[in-house]
Amino acid sequence: MSGFRARDWQVQPPALTPDYKTTRLRAPSAPLITMPEGCAPESGPVFGQGDLGPLDHDLLQNHVQDGAPIGERILLHGRVLDQEARPVAGTLVEVWQANAGGRYRHRNDRYLAPLDPNFGGCGRTLTDDAGGYRFHTLRPGPYPWPNSDNSWRPAHIHVSIMGSGFPQRLITQLYFEGDPLIPLCPIVQAVPDASAIDRLTARLDLAAASPFDCLAYRFDIVLRGRRASLFENKLEGM
């Protein structure tokens, strides 16, 4: 056990979710072993602006060859907090996604939708002091995947958050408010709780839109908090 709050298995997906077929051969069958007190890592890697390029957060610009990428321009923004609602500042947030047609710029993606020469589909940034992050990107398209003979992923953006310690490490996916594919997707439905699925849904944030430029969606992220004892002994007053 680390100095972080225990994982909340009401919220987190179990390893085995048979409707998502690949889990059948990849889910460990034994329960996780709780690491003894004081043995889990408490820290994790730290990143600085020197690790990033100037356009890393701007997917509308960072792969431009001969013009702007095609699709619905959006600002994706939000905050990274811990369970005590404290900002997780200076943490690395990385995103990857399909283009507007639902195709990834990846050697193994052979979907017939075309690549967009001006869209790479990946970005990263560091959160600010308030835990805030911002990406400019496109709304990705849905795409088919070989789970059953007619499976489609809802439009989604993959999000990786480093956190302030290795136990906080999280990869998730954000979805878009109102997408009718959300309730049909076994990857989404691996999450056992409807409100937890709701919190994976980015909300239209019209107030943050740039008129005549891009719409905005808001997606807040909550990482495991620190356990109270450690909180009082070590972190309070930092």
Partner 1 sequence: MAKSPLLETASQTAGPYVHIGLAPEIAELTKPLTPLGQSIAGPRVSGERILVRGIIFDGAQDPVTDAMLEIWQADAEGRHAGDDGCAPEFRGWGRVAADFDTGLWHFETIKPGRVGARAPHIALWIVARGINIGLHTRLYFDDETEANEADPVLQSVPDSRKAATLMAQKERDGVYRFDIRLQGPGETVFFDI
Chain residues 103-142 in contact with partner 1, contact rule CB under 8 A:
104-109, 120-124
Interface map 192-211 toward partner 1 (x if CB under 8 A): -x-xxx-xx-----------
Residues 194-219 as b or e (16 or more Cβ within 10 Å = b): eeebebbbbeebeeebeeeebbbbbb
Measured from the CB atom, the residue of 122 and 216 that comes closer to partner 1 is 122
Candidates 74, 75, 182, 188; binder of partner 1 (CB under 8 A) is 188
Candidates 128, 134, 152, 160; binder of partner 1 (CB under 8 A) is 160
Measured from the CB atom, the residue of 21 and 203 that comes closer to partner 1 is 21
> Is residue 235 involved in binding partner 1 (CB under 8 A)?
no
Angle, CA 155 vertex, CA 154 and CA 161 arms, to 5° = 110
Measured from the CB atom, the residue of 100 and 197 that comes closer to partner 1 is 197
Longest dimension (CA), the chain: 56
> Is residue 75 involved in binding partner 1 (CB under 8 A)?
no
> Is residue 189 involved in binding partner 1 (CB under 8 A)?
no
> Is residue 49 involved in binding partner 1 (CB under 8 A)?
no
Catalytic residues: 104, 143, 153, 156, 158
| Sign of the dihedral through C-alpha 219, 172, 176, 6 | negative
- Nearest Cα to 206, choosing from 52, 75, 25, 37? 75
> Is residue 5 involved in binding partner 1 (CB under 8 A)?
yes
Give the three-class secondary structure for 75: strand
| Smallest separation, CB 227 to partner 1 (Å) | 11
Distance in angstroms (rounded) separating the CA atoms of residues 72 and 78: 19
Q: Strands 132-138 and 73-82: what pairing?
A: antiparallel
